Amino acid sequence: MRYHPPEDVVSSPGSFDDSSTHVASVKSVDVKVLLKDLPCLPGLSTGEDDKVLQSVPSTSTRTNSEPTPILPIHRVVKSGGICDRFQVCRRLWNICRSVHNAKSLPPEFFQDLVEIQRTDKDLYADIERCKAWSLLRDLATKKYTREIASALLRVPPHVAVVFIRSLALHQTKDPDPFFSPLCSVVWTIQDEHPEIFHDAFGLDDFCAVITPNNLSPHPHSLHHFFNSLAAFSQNISRDGVHDETCAASYPDHEETYPIDGAHSHHSCWDLPPFAQCLLQFLLRGGEADVLKVVDHIITFITPFAQEFPNPKDINDAILHQPLVMKGDLHPTRPFLLFALHLAYHSELAARTFIGRGVLHSIGRLWVYDFCDPRGVGSRGAEVQNDMRVACLLFLGALTRHYPSAREMANHLLSLMVNTSNTDGDNPPRLHIGGLGSLCHYKALFTATTLCRLGASCALPTLTLFYMEMCLTHGVQVPEMVAWKYGEPWTAIIHIISSPLVSVSLRDAAARTLFTLASAPDAQWEGFTRVLFRLPVTYAQILSDMFQYITQTFLCVNSNPLPNGMRQVNLDCLRKLSANAGSRGSETANAVERFVLLIRVRQATNRIKFSSMLAACGMPDLLRAVMNGKYEFLTGKPSEVQVRARERVCSRMLAEMKFAEVQEEQWRQQQTFPVATPPAWESFRMSLDVKGMSLI
């Protein structure tokens, strides 16, 4: 379905020349140069321009007068005569002055610039078109891309297409990997009216437009796309430690994260702006384009999934994509990077990948330690870590549509653990941060913000999948507490507690937490350390988290259980309980182990924590555990196990009751003193006398 601009847009007839060079040959012009070139017209410093600038939004609190409306330039210019030239120059001068003075620009200014730079009208001189186009490009560089896209949506679609083509021809040779004016404008238009680009571009043509330094469409535009993606991946992995998102400081959850359309960069596993635009193009387009991209990815990966890759097949694969063989990354890495995002968002892509035997290829890549035709020296420990994480994330994307793909991830991690040379004190580990052995969990920290803004991103869910799989198989999930976004548990607490996050993502975070509880006790340290150091201001967040876990995830008030529990959560808890039992744990039940995990924190002599637990439904969970409501996960326990869980739950309930009494006394006294150690210790001793000692 074709896009039609708003009815109030007046489009005068004129020949449309898609290959016009009026705009394409323009170079960026500084605002000061524009001010210098524009003539000083009569009446320029009098009433009219002042009235125009009065309409610019201001922080003034005056409400007694409304701003003077700006008449669109296409309604001012009638015949293209000398008077119209004055009006156009005056409008350009006003816009230049506002930009030069760093003033806010009203939407009418962007609409006028789009109107003046049009090549399908004879009402404007070439120099006026060139200057309007240069101003638009400069404003796009200054991140006014949403305003420019809104203005382009008010003109006929072919005008927007011509502007996008001309902007693509003038991309910088060394673009910013995290911000592209062209891609930001394209992504915004795609988000509102994707049919504009599907009517104007084919797959190869669109790849040619958005790919950096690829100025002409030809049959190999898809090759150039992955060639550029390989260059981007190598730069990010090499320079990731210098990225401001990895600054050595602890993140503030209230921080405003830079999420702007195609530039929501979360880690080295995110796509660059131009790749996000292609992803949107595929998701909003026809099936043929998706199948073509999937076929291209499979064709490239297959020759590398051999113990001894055939040199001829390798040469054919890299003929048009030579950059994949440069740098430290494995050649298949950029293809897996795009594949995991495509498979996550598109069931058609996931089905096609599986039908084309991608699980077989992933397994062979893993088993043969990711053979690289460049030699053994090109597949060191860091490269293998990077590729294992890529395979797990890709399998997580497939699991969203085909749960059986999880079994492949289980099998591959089991092989990794069985063939590892590490001992029990040093379990194998996987760093999710890429080639530099970094831990980069920014995707989790931004998950609540992403959901609040309605953005869709694969990385939060896939990161949780990676953590769940690693914890299940005893593969350590590394943490770098000193690094920003290097510690995941605070983000998981926020995800579970936030009502703005989707239920599926909250459940995935809760499953990760229960997977941690079912892991050996030695892996609990990171989460318990986070609980211990969280400030008092996090009390409500923790309360919301426990409230969600007890009431929604575990359905503690349902009778009988497991009625009300989601099947995916129920299957996970049963599998976790079975794994803990096979490992020989004294307590195998996943819910009971979660209680033990929380008990570790409660035992640190903090009344506030016990009081918070009492207010968020935790007593209901403890009583349900004592009454055996979750025995369906493991079967009937022994008498020793029953006494052990009753002892732990009774002690936790008693400490919650004591904390409630203390809180009530403090409220009555209208003061909040901290309980003295002797009083608290005497209470603990009284519990010990009753046979309720800590385990």
Mean pLDDT by 10 residues, the chain (695 residues): 54 37 43 46 38 40 48 67 80 86 84 89 86 92 91 93 92 71 91 91 92 66 90 69 36 38 62 91 94 96 90 87 86 95 96 96 94 75 90 96 94 90 71 67 78 67 94 87 80 92 94 95 89 83 94 91 91 94 92 94 79 89 94 92 94 89 77 51 50 40
Burial degree of 406 (CB within 10 A; 0-12, 13-18, 19+): middle
Provide the pLDDT for residue 682: 54
- Residue length of the chain: 695
Phi-psi region of 109 (alpha: psi -120 to 50; beta: other; left: phi over 0): alpha
User: Any idea which residue has 């638009």 for tokens?
Assistant: 136
| Cβ-contact 3, 193 below 8 angstroms | yes
For residue 344, the surrounding DSSP H or E stretch is helix 333-345
User: What residues have CB less than 8 Å from 418, skipping those under 6 apart?
Assistant: none
Question: What is d(CA 26, CA 213) in angstroms, rounded to the nearest whole number?
Answer: 17
| Cβ-contact 263, 184 below 8 angstroms | yes
Positive or negative: CA dihedral 318, 323, 327, 328: negative
Q: Which of 153, 157, 164 is nearest to 186 (CA)?
A: 164
Q: Where are the alpha helices (DSSP H) in 368-502?
A: 381-401, 405-419, 442-445, 447-452, 459-472, 489-497
Q: Which of 209, 188, 213 is nearest to 200 (CA)?
A: 209
Provide the pLDDT for residue 2: 59
User: Any idea which residue has 């929380």 for tokens?
Assistant: 598
Provide the pLDDT for residue 15: 34
| Cβ-contact 434, 386 below 8 angstroms | yes
Q: Which of 470, 483, 377, 475 is nearest to 436 (CA)?
A: 483
| Cβ-contact 196, 160 below 8 angstroms | yes
**Rg (the chain; Cα; Å):** 30
Burial degree of 343 (CB within 10 A; 0-12, 13-18, 19+): buried
Provide the pLDDT for residue 59: 37
Question: What is d(CA 586, CA 584) in angstroms, rounded to the nearest whole number?
Answer: 6
Helices and strands, number each (H, E), in the chain: 33, 0
Cβ-based neighbour number of residue 678 at 10 Å: 8
Tokens standing for residue 673: 């003193």
> Distances in Å between the alpha carbon of 518 and those of 124, 248, 515, 582, 665?
71, 31, 5, 12, 38
Provide the pLDDT for residue 556: 93
Phi-psi region of 310 (alpha: psi -120 to 50; beta: other; left: phi over 0): beta
User: Any idea which residue has 């125009």 for tokens?
Assistant: 52
Q: Where are the domains of the chain?
A: 1-58+66-200
Provide the pLDDT for residue 694: 36
Phi, then psi, of 476 in degrees rounded to 5: -65, 135
Q: Strand, helix or coil at 476?
A: strand
CA 40, distance to chain mean position in Å, is 49
> Distances in Å between the alpha carbon of 691 and those of 59, 402, 643, 685, 694?
68, 50, 11, 10, 9
Question: What is d(CA 272, CA 285) in angstroms, rounded to the nearest whole number?
Answer: 20
pTM of the model: 0.82
Over pLDDT 90: what percentage of the chain?
41
Provide the pLDDT for residue 125: 85
| Cβ-contact 111, 72 below 8 angstroms | yes
